[in-house]
Structure 1
Amino acid sequence: MARNDPIYKLVYFDLRGLGETARQIFAYAAVEYEDHRIKREDWPYQKDATPFRTLPYLEVDGEVIGQSNAICRFLARRFNLAGRDDLEQARVDALVDYVNDVRNGGLIGWFREEDKEKKEKLKAEYFNKTVHGYLETFEKHLKANTDSNAEYFVGSGPTWADIHIAILMGMLQDVEPTVLAKYPLLKAHKARVENLKGIKEWIQKRPKTAM
């Protein structure tokens, strides 16, 4: 790190979760940062000191940014992963917002459910029915991007939306390995992003966590 380079510190739990997109942006950009991981048992004592009483947050030369998408958008702009112009940036933001729709459309409810029988029912409903509408929409957007011959979602190269979506696809596959079987473009896109320089090396060396 050069003497005048910004000092970055990303604070999150020892999970991929909402911190993984920022980590992969750093990896792709080849920018050094501190990957600080908080233990679950320590979180209640640190919550009130965070910007929104949530994780992750990012420290940049002592300044603090909260909320995962705000962090990623900030990093993407710094590292040229936000889109080439206002229109591309809007398309990137729309795709990222749609990832939230996928999570809120049943995935989070399934993850948080503690009753075993209810959890299995929610999983079956989500992966047999609900998720496919979302995946069809992603596949359609990917196919429509003629600038990259359907290799990336916006423009001719990767943006942070590609990283964010590939991570989501990986999370879905962790739960249901065959979920992308009917979506060849999405499956190929995930593999392409995971093989990008920096991201490939990060995935190989990152801590092994439950999610």
Structure 2
Amino acid sequence: MIKLTYFDFDFWRIDIARLCLGYAKIPYKYNRIVRKDWDKKKNFFPFQQLPVMELNGKIYGHTHSISRFCAIKSGLYENDELKALIIDQVLDWANEITFRIALSIREKNQDKAKKLRQRFIKNDLNKWFGFLDNLYKKSATKNNFFTEKFSLADITAWRIILWFTSGKLFDVPEEFIQDFPRLKSFYKSINDYDKFNKLSEFKEITN
């Protein structure tokens, strides 16, 4: 059985893998590590990072590798190489925008963190959501998905939009998504997608 491990809070890097497996009704174990215990345990994990996936006695690391594996197992990836490229671009976009806001999340000095967050909002927030909006505009189908069927791309984009509109990121205005009506409509369509919003993982993440 697949075992996924992450810290003791919800975050897109692990959530997208969990949502894929849950969607396909593939059983898995989920292990949460308390953040304060991480320094004692990180040497046991490849790359000294989370998330990790354990299968058949071996441990695998990196968000994108794990999520692709889970998506393929769940039928949420694409066999067509060009459609797979669309999915991979959304994954890379998620990593890029996370990297850019992470500086203000990790900064312990409140004044410095606020300045970094304001810089992100000014220089990166609309810019990087604009990149996602353009990708969606070019690739979206009549089903409102990034490719012709519901995929890891939709799960990833949905999860990042949820994060940025949750009100949990200080100073990030939740209403910024109003500037992107296509993405707002996409987000609503995924929220309303019955096969997705009935998952226990979905309910846990959104509550």
TM-score normalised by structure 2 residue count: 0.87
Question: Is residue 151 from structure 1 mapped to residue 144 from structure 2 by the alignment?
Answer: yes
What is the 5 A alignment of 1:20-35? Answer: 20-35=15-30
Match of 1:4 in 2: none
Match of 2:175 in 1: 178
The question of whether the paired residues in 1 share the 8 Å contact of 2:50 and 2:62 is answered with yes
1 CA distance for matches of 2:143 and 2:112? 38
2 CA distance for matches of 1:103 and 1:10? 21
2 CA distance for matches of 1:205 and 1:195? 16
The question of whether the paired residues in 2 share the 8 Å contact of 1:14 and 1:37 is answered with yes
The question of whether the paired residues in 2 share the 8 Å contact of 1:142 and 1:151 is answered with no
Question: Could you say what secondary structure the match of 2:118 adopts?
Answer: helix
| CA deviation after TM superposition for structure 1 residue 206, in Å | 4.7
Match of 1:127 in 2: 121
Output one character per residue of 1:123-178: Cα deviation in whole Å (capped at 9) or x when no partner: 222224421111112112212225x137112x212211211111111111122311
The question of whether the paired residues in 2 share the 8 Å contact of 1:142 and 1:150 is answered with no
The question of whether the paired residues in 1 share the 8 Å contact of 2:177 and 2:184 is answered with yes
Alignment partner of 1:42 out of 8, 23, 37 = 37
1 CA distance for matches of 2:137 and 2:205? 31
Write the letter of the residue equivalent to 1:35.
Y
- Check 1:207–1:189 CA distance in 2 against 1; reply closer, same or farther (3 A cut): closer
Output one character per residue of 1:72-93: Cα deviation in whole Å (capped at 9) or x when no partner: 0111111121113111112211
Question: Which stretches in structure 2 are left out of the alignment for 5+ residues?
Answer: none
Higher helix share: 2
Alignment partner of 2:52 out of 51, 57, 69 = 57
Kindly tell me the number of residue pairs found equivalent between the two proteins.
Answer: 199
2 CA distance for matches of 1:79 and 1:102? 26
2 CA distance for matches of 1:128 and 1:22? 31
